[in-house]
Amino acid sequence: MTNSTALKTSVCILGSGPAGIVVGNILLQNGIDCIIADRYNREEIYTRARAGVLESTTVDLLKKHGLADTIFQKGYTHDTCEFRYPDYSVVFDYGKLADGDVHYIYPQSDLNDDLIQRYLDAGGKLLLRHEGKKITQTDDGVIVECYDKDGDTTITIHADFVAGCDGYHGLSRQSIPDGAVDIYTKQHPYGWLAILAYAPPSAKHVIYGLDHDGFGAHMPRNAKISRYYLQVSLDDELKNWPDQRIWSTLAKRLAKKEWRLKEGEIFDKRILSMRSYVMEPLQYQRLLIAGDAGHIITPCGGKGLNLAVQDAGVLGEVLVSYYQEKRDMSYLKRYSEVRLPYIWRAQEFSCSMLHMLHKSEEKDVDNVRFFNKLSESKLKQLSTSVTFARDFARNYVGII
């Protein structure tokens, strides 16, 4: 590295994914200067995103801050899903049960890029290909050292606070000393094979397949692309899943009389580890954590992207209040106090839904039979218990 540059700002934001870019936009709108640094370039940021289901509460938050325009212009809505058994199916009208709230379908990659452009158009400072290397906290501020990959230089950012939005493997989480926060974690006993294909949707709604061999899912994305999931063993590998096997397994697990699975070119497949992780509090001194840096949730229920954006909304608003109302440092505890109850509710819902949909991986036959009956009982309540169905619908479409 040839030289060093020093910058000063109020808030240094690490990561320009959904959490980071929403925090940046909120701060900028309220006249609070910030700098966002991301280790990737814009194209890499775009291609990393996979999610695309936005809860009503997430869209309401973005709308509140004037950040939802393209969702309404280009996205579309879902208010129904289907649970398919080998012998019958249940179509679940969760929008009606949730008083009209719906899911919005809009790719995370497009949303993130929209918000990056909004931030840049407003004069926001975004340092791409700047990798965070060190965070040093002092009594009256924080210093973030970043490596500029293109300029081969060190950039030193002096700030009041760091918003750590750089993911589970990022510098922010790694900068918190052991024992400074409480960690709660759970490894689930199976994985998901996640598939993206150039295939038109085989149905207008999400399908959850509950087959004797395991779980399968169909997720419409747009007119040309669909997403699918298959339950696989914890030690499974991609080499075991050629395209032909994927399509035949999906067809079996999603089977329904007089229904056909539409196939296409598979352009992405990966095995996801089903893991849950929560940090408490979401703060270490002047470092405030949002999104995957502070919590990991399984894809079941589509909560990950939504939690990240909702974190950012609260964090941005807390920081705005801190500056505009001249609060003291203790006020920042409000961020964790507000967000953690929602994060745990989402974790509980996602884990409960996992158990409801998946074949048990236990070896004990009696345990498996008991587990299966519990799962069957939950699923039946979607159509037999209005109270259970309303609660499920409300949590599914957006925890409030």
Cis peptide before 281 (omega within 30 of 0): yes
Q: Tell me if domain 1-51+106-180+280-350 and domain 185-275 are identical in fold.
A: no
pLDDT digits (tens, 9 = 90+) for 219-252: 988 889 999 999 999 999 999 999 999 999 999 9
* Sign of the alpha-carbon dihedral angle for 218, 221, 227, 231: negative
Using an 8 Å Cβ cutoff, are 133 and 171 in contact?
Answer: yes
pLDDT of residue 367: 85
For 190-194, what is the mean pLDDT? 94
For 70-93, what is the mean pLDDT? 92
In the 8-state DSSP scheme, what is residue 332?
A: G
- Asked if the model's pLDDT at residue 90 lies above 50, the reply is yes
Q: Which fold does the domain 185-275 belong to in CATH? A: D-Amino Acid Oxidase; Chain A, domain 2 (3.30.9)
Q: Is 194 helix (H, G, I), strand (E, B) or coil?
A: strand
Catalogue the long-range contacts made by 176-180 (C-beta closer than 8 Å, 24 or more residues apart): 176/279, 176/284, 176/287, 176/289, 177/284, 180/284
Q: Which fold does the domain 1-51+106-180+280-350 belong to in CATH? A: FAD/NAD(P)-binding domain (3.50.50)
172 Cβ partners below 8 Å, 6+ apart? 14, 15, 132, 135, 162, 164, 165, 166, 287, 289, 293
Domain ranges of the chain: 1-51+106-180+280-350, 54-78+95-105+363-399, 185-275
Looking up tokens 């801190």 gives 322
**Residue 356, CA distances (Å) to 120, 165, 167, 180, 283 in order:** 44, 31, 28, 35, 33
Q: What are 223's two structure tokens?
A: 């007119």
pLDDT of residue 198: 96
The whole-angstrom separation of Cα 325 and Cα 170 is 31
Model pTM score:
0.94
For 354-362, what is the mean pLDDT? 85
| DSSP percent split of the chain into helix, strand, coil, nearest 5 | 40, 30, 30
Q: What is the DSSP pairing of strand 226-232 with strand 265-280?
A: unpaired
- Asked if the model's pLDDT at residue 2 lies above 60, the reply is no
Using an 8 Å Cβ cutoff, are 238 and 271 in contact?
Answer: yes
pLDDT digits (tens, 9 = 90+) for 5-30: 899 999 999 999 999 999 999 999 99
Using an 8 Å Cβ cutoff, are 289 and 164 in contact?
Answer: yes
- Asked if the model's pLDDT at residue 101 lies above 90, the reply is yes
Q: Which of 135-144, 185-194, 367-376, 388-397 has the lowest mean pLDDT?
A: 367-376
At CA 93, angle to CA 92 and CA 94, rounded to 5?
Answer: 95
